[in-house]
């Protein structure tokens, strides 16, 4: 495990307004090929600065051998222990769970500093279907926006088209859009970015 000083400061000047977000791939030696495209999409939704910075820790300590999955709450706790004031979106390619649920697509600290997202169950091949990278990327973007919305104080939305609508199954992710509804956009504008 690396020290907290392993993460370099952002290479660009901080904008006066907007989100300061780090996308943090966990358990990977390099960023995933789609993380830069995701960063651009998150910039378009939330504004501000988005940087990709691999985690200085791995997945091993969060593996539960009895479930054969990784504990999302433990990983989120390790992510939130990273220094700095920026918001953090951890990304993994392994199956995540929380103790009360069979699996989760992601987990966030409501109105907090961070969230974590798994791409594992967003891949068609997990369900015995043909690989579809475009659909997988769309699902990842929706879930990233959804979890960051929670971290910025948004709760689940009743509008079935809003990206903040709850999704228990991957089909429900496909049914909703990648956009925030007008009500959630208004609430988001009221959230301090510091």
Alpha helices in the chain (DSSP H): 35-46, 72-80, 133-151, 170-175, 182-189
Please tell me the distance from the alpha carbon of residue 63 to that of residue 77, in angstroms, as a whole number: 14
Q: Distances from the Cα of 34 to the Cαs of 1, 97, 131, 141, 187, in angstroms? A: 25, 23, 15, 10, 29
- Radius of gyration for the alpha carbons in the chain, expressed in angstroms and rounded: 16
Whole-number pLDDT of residue 16: 41
Beta-strand ranges (E) seen in the chain are: 20-25, 49-52, 63-64, 69-71, 87-92, 96-98, 101-104, 106-108, 114-118
In this structure, what token pair is assigned to residue 100? 């009360």
pLDDT in tens, the chain (194 residues): 344 444 444 444 343 456 899 999 999 776 677 888 999 999 999 989 999 988 999 999 999 999 999 999 999 999 999 998 889 999 999 999 999 999 999 999 999 999 999 999 999 999 999 999 999 999 999 999 999 999 999 999 999 999 999 999 999 999 999 999 999 999 988 876 55
In this structure, what token pair is assigned to residue 168? 């228990």
Q: What pTM value is reported for the model? A: 0.87
Catalytic residue, from 36, 60, 74, 147: name it: 147
Please tell me the distance from the alpha carbon of residue 180 to that of residue 26, in angstroms, as a whole number: 27
> For this structure, is 190 an active site residue?
no
């Amino acid at each position: 495990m690396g020290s907290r000083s392993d993460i370099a400061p952002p290479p660009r000047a901080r904008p006066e307004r907007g989100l300061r977000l780090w996308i943090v791939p966990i358990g990977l030696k390099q960023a995933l090929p789609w993380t830069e495209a995701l960063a651009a999409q998150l910039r378009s939704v939330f504004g501000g600065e988005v940087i990709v910075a691999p985690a200085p820790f791995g997945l091993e300590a969060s593996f539960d051998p009895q479930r054969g999955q990784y504990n999302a709450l433990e990983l989120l706790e390790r992510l939130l222990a990273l220094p700095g004031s920026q918001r953090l979106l951890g990304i993994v390619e392994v199956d995540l769970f929380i103790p009360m649920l069979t699996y989760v697509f992601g987990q966030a600290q409501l109105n907090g500093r961070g969230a974590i997202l798994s791409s594992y169950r967003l891949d068609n091949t997990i369900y015995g279907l043909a690989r579809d990278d475009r659909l997988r990327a769309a699902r990842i973007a929706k879930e990233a926006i959804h979890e960051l919305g929670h971290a910025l104080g948004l709760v689940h939305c009743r509008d079935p088209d809003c990206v903040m609508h709850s999704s228990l199954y991957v089909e429900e992710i496909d049914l909703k859009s990648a956009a925030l509804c007008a009500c959630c956009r208004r609430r988001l504008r009221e959230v301090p970015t510091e």
